[in-house]
Amino acid sequence: MDAPMTGLALDGRAALVIGTGAGMGQATVAALAGAGAGVACLDIDPAAATAAAAIAERSGRRSVSLAGDATRAGDVASAVAETRRALGSIDIVVGVVGDGAKRGARLLDSDEAAWDRIVEISLKPAVNAARAAVGPMMEQGRGGAFVFISSIGGLSGLPGQAPYSAAKAGLMSLVRTLALEYGMEGIRFNAVAPGIIHTPEIDRISTPEHRALQERLVPLRRMGSPDDVARAILFLASDLGGYVTGQTLCVDGGVTAKYQLPAFWADWERD
């Protein structure tokens, strides 16, 4: 039997979080730092990276603030190098970058440039992160963990959101493939697929009435919080999830477990 874990789950490890704006990015930084990791915070907005690094510092952990565009391979490679320089290693990479689903259009009415941009933002940062960090992890010789934010939109069709759904499905396939390619080096790849998460963006684009309707459709009868997502990331990034790789963990309050069409026998659905 394995020895029981002692201390904090991520003591002595260094994490790079890509995309540290308000909501899931900052919650992820707080969760990793709270579990003992030093955290490098990369964001295209320098102020967002600085704010996230301050969160890690308040937990008493080393941190570094980095500005860069995660869709540019050079920016991500520089962030990996700076993480190693400032924190001593790179053991965890979390990708929270992504263009959230917004009001869209059917395929024939959609804009090609917008399609390309959504796919680029959703997929390219993960590819860049793997290209930049797998080599250093192999060099360190103690494995590593990647966790990327996908979406339940990649598991089912979303009318008017073809590029978003396709890109998120591609991200899930990417982690399965990379898990097979680098498992022998002890490097794990997983994804988290959030459902309806209450973020500042949700408040901006929706009304209280719409949010109440959304909650009614969730089996747990509430929206998720950024902390719900961050805790799932922490599990997959730490040794608690040490035998989990190539998987997508849905954090959706049960939405993807639900039979979506009205079920006449389910009286509780009408309560």
Sorted by sequence, the CB contacts under 8 Å of residue 114 that are 6+ apart come out as 163
Question: Is the model more confident about 103 or about 65?
Answer: 65
Contact 222, 201 (CB under 8 A): no
Task: Indicate the pLDDT class of residue 268, thresholds 50, 70 and 90.
Answer: very low
Please name the residue ranges forming H helices in 42-111: 46-58, 73-87
Among 24, 158, 17, which Cα is nearest to 90's? 17
Q: Containing H/E element for 191?
A: strand 187-194
Q: Please report, for residues 56, 92, 171, 180, 236, the alpha-carbon distance to residue 245 in angstroms, rounded to integers and kept in the order given.
A: 26, 14, 14, 9, 8
Positions annotated as catalytic residues are: 164
Taking 60 as the threshold, does the pLDDT of residue 266 lie above it?
Answer: no
- Number of Cβ within 10 Å of residue 163's Cβ equals 23
Concatenated DSSP letters for 92-159?
A: EEEE-------S---GGGS-HHHHHHHHHHHHHHHHHHHHHHHHHHHHHTS-EEEEEE--GGGTS--T
Instruction: Report the side by side order of strands in the sheet with 248-251.
Output: 63-67, 38-43, 14-18, 92-95, 144-149, 187-194, 248-251
Beta partners for residue 249, in sequence order:
192
Amino acid present at 11: D
Q: Alpha-carbon distance 76 to 18, whole Å?
A: 9
Would you state the torsion angle of the CA atoms of residues 16, 136, 188, 58, taken in this order, to the nearest 10 degrees?
A: -20
Q: Are strands 38-43 and 187-194 parallel, antiparallel or unpaired?
A: unpaired
Look at 7-11, 56-60, 167-171, 179-183 and tell me which has the smallest mean pLDDT: 7-11
pLDDT of residue 4: 43
Task: Please give the average per-residue pLDDT across 162-183, as a whole number.
Answer: 96
Taking 80 as the threshold, does the pLDDT of residue 267 lie above it?
Answer: no
Is the backbone of residue 253 left (phi > 0), alpha (psi -120 to 50) or beta? left
Q: 14-251: what fold?
A: Rossmann fold (3.40.50)
Look at 58-72, 194-208, 229-243 and tell me which has the smallest mean pLDDT: 194-208
Task: Please give the average per-residue pLDDT across 174-179, as a whole number.
Answer: 98
Average pLDDT, the chain: 90
Taking 60 as the threshold, does the pLDDT of residue 3 lie above it?
Answer: no
| 0.85 exceeded by pTM | yes
Task: Please give the average per-residue pLDDT across 216-225, as a whole number.
Answer: 91
Please provide the size of the chain in residues.
271
Q: For the CA atoms of the chain, what is the radius of gyration?
A: 19
pLDDT of residue 160: 83
